[in-house]
Amino acid sequence: MAMAANHLRNSTRISVHRILHHRFQPLLNAARSFSEAASSIPQPQPNQQSSPLSSLKDYELAKFAAIADSWWDSEGPFKPLHLMNPTRLAFIRSALCRHFKKDPYSAKPLEGLKIVDVGCGGGILSEPLARLGATVTGVDAVEKNIKIAQLHAGLDPVTSTIEFCCTTAEKLVEEGRKFDAVMALEVIEHVANPAEFCKSLAALTVPDGATVISTINRSMRAYATAIVAAEYILRWLPRGTHQWSSFLTPEELVLILQRAGINVLVIAYFICCIARTGGGDGRICVQPGDRTVVFIRRYQRKFHRLRHQIKQHRIA
């Protein structure tokens, strides 16, 4: 009897081991390939920075130039940005309408505002801002990005008025340009000097204007989703697109902004939850969380809580 019980116990252990091995072996293989690939990625060298006063990194420019043709491919390398765009745009629309006392329900709620989209890429944010009535300037340091943005925007008479320039925020400051609102979404994690970059953004903003910055929080969740999952498992992005050490926590970014003369009023968080459908394709759903941090420049004493699906924390 005891021998039969031991035999049954051993058989059960073997079956459980086989089930666990079958279920988790793909994840272990992905983790192993991630570790091997990560060790083979060439790390950026200090002398690759263009100049101490520039926000540019040469290797960052090269990475985005290599995938510039895919900006408007919603299933390509920029798929996460396309999926996040409606949520980001809803927040920006509500925040700017509240700040500038605009009617958010009008056909063109941002009409009369001059907005610059710093690091505009292919124009996936610049175009909807223009459709909301804003006078938009899109700038990017990658010339190929600007050409793609100009070609795509030219297909629509409404967006064909967007001014796209291959330049940097620093150069716009030197030219004395000023804007009602300055956008820098998913950019600061790719610049060489975040503090100097934020000073340039502040200099581009008119008094009583608004500055909006979106970036990836330096958290383990972000490491798992933005790097391990997006770059190595689902392969939405080329490997090495993001460096976890370049991410900023909300506290770090608040300090940088305050030192740049930008008073932070609203911090909004959301995450991209990655799931798999029955067909095996990766899907993203945007939910409240800690994936992205958005900051609004404060000049008014009162700023009512915005009503949308993003979780917000007030700082004042």
Residue 185 marked ligand-binding: yes
Residue 186 marked ligand-binding: yes
Residue 175 marked ligand-binding: no
Give the DSSP H or E segment for 82. helix 79-99
Residue 119 marked ligand-binding: yes
The torsion of the CA quartet 301, 302, 308, 309, rounded to 10 degrees, works out to 60
List residues bridging with 165 in a β-sheet.
Answer: 139
8 A C-beta contact, residue 309 and residue 87: yes
Residue 190 marked ligand-binding: yes
Rounded distance, CA 46 to CA 61, Å? 15
Q: Give all strands of the β-sheet with 311-314 in edge-to-edge order.
A: 163-166, 135-140, 114-118, 179-185, 205-216, 282-297, 264-276, 311-314
Cα dist from 73 to 82, 205, 229, 241, whole Å: 9, 32, 20, 17
Residue 140 marked ligand-binding: yes
The torsion of the CA quartet 59, 292, 99, 302, rounded to 10 degrees, works out to -130
> What residues form the annotated binding site for S-adenosyl-L-methionine?
88, 119, 140, 185
Binding residue ranges for Mg(2+) = 186, 189-190
User: Where is the binding site, in residues?
Assistant: 88, 119, 140, 185-186, 189-190
